[in-house]
Structure 1
Amino acid sequence: MVLLAQFLSINANDLTEYTRKAEVSVEVEDKDVTTYASLGWKEVKGGLKSGELGCEFLQDVAATELDSIMWPLLGTVVPFVVRADQAAVSTSNPSYSGNVLIKGWNPIEGSVGDEATVSVTFPTSGAVARATS
């Protein structure tokens, strides 16, 4: 699989035209429940689940563009949707969605001669859902 047309929406704003990378990761804490009955083997159970939405954008600070969309969201919890392709949601193009805390924003990043990019990671708040229809 090669990602050619990924879709990203944050707070109902389609940010696909600015997005270079969108990564959804989820994990479960491992809780040690080892006892003497474990006979020397460590036993674990799943604890709290958490996730992150990592993004890399090409920055645009013009009125109504990326920076003006993201800046007001700082400190708020907003919905997100990510798909591997911009096509409709299906069994071969699942949608991952939930809510993220916009906990930071880097309005200006880069060195001399670089394209202006923004790399951010937002923690999820609540469940991350996978949908195929």
Structure 2
Amino acid sequence: MIILVMSMRDVEKIIKGIIKDMNPRFKRKTLRELLSEEKPHVIINGKRHRIKRRELEFLKEIASEDLKIPIVLEVDSSLGGAIKISGKEEVKVISKILGKEIDIFSEKDVMYIYKPELKIVRKELPTTTQLIFKLSLFD
């Protein structure tokens, strides 16, 4: 019998590694790039992920063509169920979809939403958003 003694930090590293492996790997493209493609797509985990043109046209109406797609929705265990959206254009898009007022002169580039709002966002933008998970065992 082998007994393995590990610290909680070691366990945390292992769990973080597992979560990291579960998260998708992708390179984001700009809205401009995707609009110029005949069959818009991004590569996620080495596979082609089609982007619906309807979503791109919708985004074109409410965002800059410099918007990076997919829009990353970060689920962080340390945020108590909140989903973090980062980036000025990304915050602008999600705010518009949810009907939230934002100060156009604000430099705010982070916002937090919750599950009911996540459902609305994912229903509106199923192919142009991507969930990623962040695990925090110790703060």
TM-score, normalised to structure 2's length?
Answer: 0.24
If each structure's strand is expressed as a fraction of its own residues, which one has the higher value? 1
If each structure's helix is expressed as a fraction of its own residues, which one has the higher value? 2
